[in-house]
Amino acid sequence: MNLTYELLRVETDGPVTHLRLNRPAKRNAINNTLVREIQTAFVHLDPATRAVVISGEGEHFCAGLDLSEVTEQSVVEGMHHSRGWHAAFDQVQYGPVPVIAVLHGAVVGGGLELAATAHLRVAEPSTFYGLPEGQRGIFVGGSGSMRIPRLIGVSRMTDMMLTGRVFDAAEGQAAGLSNYLVGEGEGLAKAMALAHKVASNAPLSNYAITQALPRIAEMAPAEGLFVESLMSAIAQGDEAAKQRVRDFLEKRASKVGKGA
């Protein structure tokens, strides 16, 4: 399928698809076009894609919701608008492959909601995290209340929303907003390297990690353990798993180590 995008730049590097929010003049603020394009890109990922990297063009990752689109919205339109973001972001989190976000500059409001939807986050020192919804008189609507507390807890998110507290990159790393904190300008290279590493895993393992793990973590323990057994039996039954285990036993695979 030949898809063209107005506000997204899509590039491929072997098994890795790189999606770049491409609206730098508006700090990559997410308007209706961009949210639909994000959804479309994930629905129509090339079947050869094994991992996705998402980044932002310009000085900032993303300034959140395009505020120029909310002023004239009715209550019911607001509800549909929010549900539209949920549909798009669910497609990111529950799409076929792991997603790694590269963060720099502003990661605020809906931009933080998008970042929280990725499976891993790599931040540069310029990154700052904010949830200015409280100050704007609105509330998170792009899944932030569901996803952000799972990264940093309800208490920290409450502080960010009530007081407008902004976390810098180091505070975000300590709080769990980013998985990796790298040097300025090094985020994309790090994310691409991680994506290639992730892409070399057995696809079914990656699928279990991104799809089964977060669901099991939400289940009551007895149900979670049962689903874990199902998932592990399915994964180990796959030929890719059998080959990888044989490779280790026959000394062809790498050992576990810090440099691995």
Contact residues toward ligand 1HE (CB under 6 A) are: 26-27, 29, 59-60, 63-68, 82, 85, 106, 108-110, 132-133, 136, 138, 140-142
Q: Which lies closer to ligand 1HE via its Cβ, residue 141 or residue 187?
A: 141
Backbone φ and ψ of 17, nearest 5°: -100, 130
- Closest residue to ligand 1HE, based on beta-carbon distance: 109
Q: How crowded is residue 251: how many other Cβ atoms within 10 Å of its Cβ?
A: 7
Q: How far is the CB of 212 from ligand 1HE (least distance, A)?
A: 27
Q: Which lies closer to ligand 1HE via its Cβ, residue 49 or residue 127?
A: 127
Q: How far is the CB of 185 from ligand 1HE (least distance, A)?
A: 17
Catalytic residue among 59, 77, 124, 133: 133
Q: How far is the CB of 30 from ligand 1HE (least distance, A)?
A: 7
Any catalytic annotation for residue 171?
A: no
Nearest-angstrom CA–CA distance, 25 and 192: 25
Q: Which lies closer to ligand 1HE via its Cβ, residue 68 or residue 236?
A: 68
Q: How far is the CB of 160 from ligand 1HE (least distance, A)?
A: 12
Alpha helix (H) residue ranges in 122-220: 133-136, 144-163, 169-175, 187-199, 203-207, 213-218
CB neighbours of 251 closer than 8 A, spacing ≥ 6? none
**H/E element, 52:** strand 51-56
Nearest-angstrom CA–CA distance, 139 and 78: 11
Catalytic residue among 11, 59, 113, 184: 113
Burial label, 185 (beta-carbon count in 10 A; 0-12, 13-18, 19+): exposed
Any catalytic annotation for residue 113?
A: yes
Q: How far is the CB of 66 from ligand 1HE (least distance, A)?
A: 4
Q: How far is CA 69 from CA 29, 39, 77, 107, 110, in A?
A: 11, 19, 11, 19, 13
Q: Which lies closer to ligand 1HE via its Cβ, residue 78 or residue 214?
A: 78
Is residue 100 within 8 A of residue 154, CB to CB? The reply is: no
Q: Which lies closer to ligand 1HE via its Cβ, residue 163 or residue 229?
A: 163
Q: Which residues are catalytic?
A: 113, 133
